Structure 1
Amino acid sequence: MNQRIVFATALLAGLSALLPASAQTTPMPSKETRRIEVTGFSEMEVMPDELYFTVSLREYFKDEKNQKDKVLISTLEKQLVQAVAEAGLPKENLSVSGVGGYQQQWDKNKKPATFLESKQYQLKVERADKLDGVLSKVDSRGIQYANMSRADHSRKEEFKNQVKVEALKNAKEKAAFLLNAIGEKAGPVLEIRELEEGASYPQPMYKSNMRMMAMESADAVPDSDLDYQKIKLSYRMQAVFEIK
């Protein structure tokens, strides 16, 4: 009898030691946060207010046949600098972007080759017609070409931030719209990610040859023959919202 009691007591003690251990290994159920993930989009188009032109000047002979009376690049440069000042543009809007030259030889048997220097400048203006006025005061025979290199906007960073905010608002509106369709509501935002950054800076399209090359005076300046597109800014914002 005593052996049976001892055995039963030992068995109960063993079971009592096992029960707490098995209770600790059982995970408690947790409430998972319901969420919705959406992507918002926004874009903006702005007209450029900073136009960058590459202007190339080159030396030439007034008497090309006899290669006499050479107009120096320094003379042409002075004309350009003065024209920029008279147009009311800051001095820093004009800078040198390159220097080069070429040899001109009319008759290999009689005349030696002559080196004619060329020089390229970058000119920043807010409107294309400003360029017309500047180049009209430079000797047209000394202007090799004038091309737009790029277009930009002085408030580009400000506009970028506006587009990002609108993209995020669009994401919130989209989440509210989708959840409303199933009788749910959006809660606080849990996560925000900026997916991509997009900016389009289209190059200008010339409808015809630039007539500014043939202008002799400011009075002869016609309307600008230059057509360019707007700068397009677009952004996508991904956001995760809690579902109430």
Structure 2
Amino acid sequence: MQVLIARLLLLSCLLALPAHAGQLSASAALDSDDRFRGVSLSHGRPDVRLDVNYDEEGGLYGGISLAAAPGRGQSAPLTHYTAYAGYVTRPASDLSWEGGVSHTHIDDRERYDYDELYAGLITAGITARLSYSPRYYGRDVQTLYADLSGSRQISPHVRLFAHAGWLRRLSGTWGLRPRYDLSAGVAAALRACELRLSVTQTPSLYAWGREDGGTGIVLSAVRAF
């Protein structure tokens, strides 16, 4: 029931976005590894990614992030997406807050689908967020994910960015241990593209039992439209 409510909220938010009063943005990227919260969903393979976002001037927003990586041998590509919708306040004293809901689908394994409700604060290039899932990775477990992300422009064409996250089980039967994920990197604007180099660190994967965590280096090329 909680999952159904979250999905209905997401759908209603997306349908409520007026088609004439906002801004649509998109970007395409090529990554050397598809990392999500520090974990490689592509098992170390490169991926292509498409991000589409809609921002309404009143504060509503929504979008989707879709990624695909080559499968093994003749298998189909590995895909996953996260769709989201939310609301963010206009900055007051350089501080604003946001809240929303997201749905994540991983490959063709619907049993891993999960929803999250999130709330956060945004100030001076830093975002702090809490995300709650009633069935994380489709398992009988409730989780809370706390993360802090930031970005700092150090020159007209170069910026630094970093992220730290902490996932904790609140209740449920799945023996999910608390785990962290860290990442940091540098991005350089090069004509119409941005090149990013980042280092990630996290324990092993949540669901499949593979060692797809550890330390990883990711190189990305991103083109905004």
TM-score range, shorter-chain basis? under 0.3
Greater Rg over alpha carbons, structure:
1
Tell me the TM-score normalized by structure 2: 0.22
Tell me the TM-score normalized by structure 1: 0.21
Structure holding more helix per residue: 1
Indicate the structure whose relative CO is greater, using CA pairs within 8 Å and at least 6 residues apart. Answer: 1
